[in-house]
Structure 1
Amino acid sequence: MSRPPEDHSDPSLEPRVPGSTDGSGTSPSPSSPEVRATRPPAVTVLSLIVGAEATALLVAAAWYAIQLVTGAPVLSFWGAVFTLALLLSFAAWLYAVAYFLFRGFRWPRAGALVAQLFVLTIGFPTLTGGYIAAGFAMLVPAVVAVVLLFNKGVIRFASRAGGAPPAL
């Protein structure tokens, strides 16, 4: 059995935010929204980019499913179904990354970086293969997202760790 951790901190040593109190004259706890930094615009832009990429994957999965249902020739039907499942699961994962990044968790930053590296890996050959518009549509948001992932404001805001799950 596990017990919740005991808090031995002295409330008088908590950081104070000028002009904000919890009504009793004391400063709010460090995990409260008053102490947390406000959401920088870069986090919103980054979440929108990742959400747009997830939507693009969802559209691609829908198109792939329509092609599969209408009888487009495939080498392996179950391989095509597996590819469709991968597209849908990756889109769901990217939606989760965008949502939790917007809320300020730290784990989605790694997921967003990996997704952008995948997009860059596909975007460069697309661009050099003669599909200029599609290549730029992949490369520009991915480069912007990578730059924003290392922005100081994003790093500062996206530093919340998930809480421990409740014990039985």
Structure 2
Amino acid sequence: MARKAFYSFHYKPDNWRAAQVRNMGVVEGNSPISDNDWEEVKKKGEKEIQDWIDGQLRGRSCTVVLIGEKTAKRKWINYEIEKSWNSGKGLLGIYIHKLKNSAGEQAEKGANPFDSFTVGEDKKKLSDIVKAYDPPFQTSTYVYDHIKTNLEDWVEKAITIRNEYGK
């Protein structure tokens, strides 16, 4: 079954890296937004940003958080994680810091954005439930190939985990 994913990422530093993953064509993703369009959405205020995110999440079965150096604890990434989890969507992370950006640079590994959340009555850390995959390579092309080879399986696993965990 073709899955539809929402890609969550820190726009400014990781847009180039995120585009590489989104353009793999492994799972259908949300429509890319240009720099100008994103700036227009941001200018309209928080309600407009939240409405835009909610619209992008509609009809998606999974949210893929593309984890860069400064992704964790960002306000809108946190909103996307919380909204996705509470909506019963599959949720996973992929570290993308070793993919090269437009200048051919790699970045430092960022913190796990799921560490900031707890779920259930037992206050279990979301990072103990949701998988965050860190490709085991240093070379950008190998990292890319690893993500492309595994992304579909990771999405299916995330959906299974979320379904098993319940609402």
Name the TM tier (shorter chain): under 0.3
Which structure features the higher share of helix residues?
1
Which structure features the higher share of strand residues?
2
Specify the structure having the higher radius of gyration (Cα): 1
> TM-score, normalised to structure 2's length?
0.23
